[in-house]
Amino acid sequence: MKEQILKMLRANQNEYLSGEELCRRFNVSRTAIWKHIKDLQEEGYEIDAVRNKGYRLVSAPDIVTAAEIREGLSTRRLGQHIVAVKELDSTNVLAAKLAETGEPDGTLVIADCQTGGKGRRGKAWFSPPGTGIWMSLILRPHLPLAQAPQLTLVAAVAVGQVLSDLAGHRAGIKWPNDILFEDRKCCGILTEMNMESEEITRVIVGIGINVNQTEIEFPDELRDIATSLRIVAGRPFHRAKVVQRILERFELLYDQYAEYGSFAPIREQWKQQSITLGRYVSAHTPRGLLTGLAVDIDEMGALVLETDSGRQKVYSADIQV
Ligand code: BTN
């Protein structure tokens, strides 16, 4: 009911909504309505309450609750089911557990703060409260296992496009899926899946975005290598709105990818946004160090390096440019 009240307040934002009307609509007492209004105020909604007039929504807080994300979201699958938590260890961990119990394709797990945020290759991911987007999507794509890396690239293209639009500056993709502004990382993506069969039946795409941090809010070790959308754009953002834009763009690209039956259209967009191609890179692969000029990504999503001993493909690595 709280979410419904919020919806009504939003729909009447320029006028007062009488307590009486709310009571009638939900068939509850004034005290019950007042309790929900108080809860909303505690969450940070600024609601004007005037005797004999009623309630008016003045402003919505920057919070990543299901209600804020759902409001105006125009996707068909992604984010149609939302699990929003104030604090947890890692959204990827919770999403993996939920995926096992049958949560639907497109389920979004999001937290305001992660105490054990996971980065790639066992690193920690700095996920303080109130400033970033820490979210994971449960996808059930039914793709051959070999195509898994492409899914991450689709996500990177979607996030990269949205961040570029919002910041008004080009966000570059560093292979495979870091999003950077002028060589400082703003977003990382961690895709995890169960490898039990030859088909990907469920994937967790974890996306971490620095949104509203100022420079001093980053710990010393990150200050020179990380950035946030706010630092780049020079203004703060409403995180739930950023989440909506990402879900919408990801769904669009993902549908294109599925409809086209090939990675080709996304691959071209990835290449346009890449800051890796055309640079000499060192790739720390599970089989050792490879250095060379990054010349392409292939149709499967592997990075193609021109090395001293000819062209080599890199399927999984941390790279330095
Ligand atoms: C990287 O190392 O670049 C990947 C970082 C991925 C971080 C996100 S935050 C949401 C999700 N939950 C996690 O524990 N990790 C991912």
Parse the chain into domains and list their residue ranges: 2-59, 66-273, 280-320
Does residue 128 line the site of ligand 1, with CB under 6 A? no
Q: Which of 24-28, 219-223, 282-286 has the highest mean pLDDT?
A: 219-223
64 phi, psi to nearest 5 deg: -110, 60
Asked whether residue 200 carries a pLDDT value surpassing 90, the answer given is no
In angstroms, how far is the first alpha carbon of the chain from the final one? Answer: 52
- Give the type of residue at 131: T
Does residue 91 line the site of ligand 1, with CB under 6 A? yes
Q: What is the CATH number of domain 280-320?
A: 2.30.30.100
Could you tell me if 48 and 11 are in contact, meaning their C-beta atoms sit under 8 angstroms apart?
no
Could you tell me if 111 and 87 are in contact, meaning their C-beta atoms sit under 8 angstroms apart?
yes
Q: Which residues of 248-263 are buried (b: 16+ CB within 10 A; e: fewer)?
A: bbbbebbeebeeeeeb
* Two tokens, residue 43: 């969450």
What residue's CA is closest to ligand 1, atom 8?
A: 208
* Two tokens, residue 154: 């689709």
Mean pLDDT of the 97-106 span: 94
Domain 2-59 classified CATH 1.10.10.10? yes
Tell me: ipTM over 0.95. yes
Instruction: Say which CATH superfamily domain 66-273 falls into.
Output: Bira Bifunctional Protein; Domain 2 (3.30.930.10)
Element (H, E) at 94: helix 91-100
Does residue 54 line the site of ligand 1, with CB under 6 A? no
* Class of residue 296 by CB neighbours under 10 A (exposed 0-12, middle 13-18, buried 19+): middle
Asked whether residue 226 carries a pLDDT value surpassing 80, the answer given is yes
What is the per-residue pLDDT across 208-219, written as a single tens digit (0 to 9) for each? 999 999 999 999
Does residue 120 line the site of ligand 1, with CB under 6 A? yes
- pTM (two decimals): 0.93
Asked whether residue 243 carries a pLDDT value surpassing 90, the answer given is yes
- Separation of alpha carbons 240 and 62, rounded Å: 7
Q: What's the helix, strand, coil split of the chain in %, to 5? A: 35, 30, 35
Contacts of 163 (CB under 8 A, 6+ apart): 171, 179, 181, 186, 187, 209, 229
Asked whether residue 261 carries a pLDDT value surpassing 80, the answer given is no
Radius of gyration of the chain (CA): 22
Could you tell me if 155 and 210 are in contact, meaning their C-beta atoms sit under 8 angstroms apart?
no
- Separation of alpha carbons 151 and 149, rounded Å: 5
DSSP state of 174: E
**Pocket perturbation via mutation, ligand 1, pick of 107, 127, 191 by most ligand atoms within 8 A of CB:** 127
Q: What is the mean pLDDT of the chain?
A: 93
* Class of residue 165 by CB neighbours under 10 A (exposed 0-12, middle 13-18, buried 19+): exposed
What residue's CA is closest to ligand 1, atom 10?
A: 134
Mean pLDDT of the 297-311 span: 92
Q: Name the band, by pLDDT with cuts 50, 70 and 90, for residue 300.
A: confident
Domains 2-59 and 66-273 share a fold: no
